[in-house]
Structures are given as C-alpha cells and as structure tokens.
C-alpha cells in the first residue's frame, strides 16, 4: 500500500483536534495531505527547515538503514512488526 493511502487510513482514525508535528518531507507538504488534515479538523505544525535535534526520528534512521542493509529487506518489512506502536 503506498504511503499516501496508509496516511489516509491513519488519519481516518485520528481524533479531531490532533496536532501533527511534521518535518518538511514532500509527502507532508503535499496539498492533498494538508487538506485531508484540515478536513479532519486537525492541525499541521512544521518543524524548522532543518532541525534534526527536534525530530526524534532523525536519530533512528542510521540504525534502521544499517539493519535494512544487514537483513536485505524493504522498509515495509523492517517496520511491519512495530507498526502497532505508532501513536497518532
């Protein structure tokens, strides 16, 4: 399932008034994504343009990429066991 479709599924389960703290990834800034967030009565707040110290996920990418190379698996497989822990 493409990333946008997964985002729509998760957004449908999100309570109104939720604030999404987003970086500047192209998916996050897309007009459709921002409209969907607004339509669900949620708010999008963006981190400063380059702020890895404020984005807790930035410190996880290097280890995740190393594991992905070690096991030669795709991103979906790498994170599939942990998707239940995603908090929105």
For the chain, which residues make up each domain, given as ranges? Answer: 1-51, 56-88
Quick one: average pLDDT of 34-41?
Answer: 88
Reduced to 3 states (helix: H, G, I; strand: E, B; else coil), residue 70 is helix
Query: Distance between alpha carbon 12 and the CA centroid of its chain, in Å?
Result: 15
Q: Given phi > 0 = left and psi -120 to 50 = alpha, else beta, which region is 17?
A: left
Chain-centre distance for alpha carbon 67: 19
What's the whole-number mean pLDDT along residues 25-33? 69
CA trace torsion 26, 49, 43, 33 (10° rounding): -10
Given this model, what pLDDT does residue 19 score? 92
pTM, two decimals, is: 0.49
pLDDT at position 41 = 92
How many whole angstroms from its chain centre is CA 54? 15
Cα–Cα distance, 62 to 79 (Å, whole number)? 14
Higher pLDDT, 20 or 75: 20
């Amino acid at each position: 399932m493409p990333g946008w479709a997964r985002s729509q599924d998760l957004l449908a389960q999100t309570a109104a008034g939720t604030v999404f703290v987003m970086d500047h990834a192209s998916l996050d800034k897309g007009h459709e994504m921002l409209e969907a967030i607004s339509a669900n009565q949620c708010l999008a707040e963006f981190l400063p343009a380059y702020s890895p110290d404020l984005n807790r996920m930035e410190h996880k990418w290097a280890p995740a990429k190393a594991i992905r190379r070690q096991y030669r698996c795709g991103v979906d497989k790498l994170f599939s066991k942990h998707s239940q822990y995603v908090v929105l």
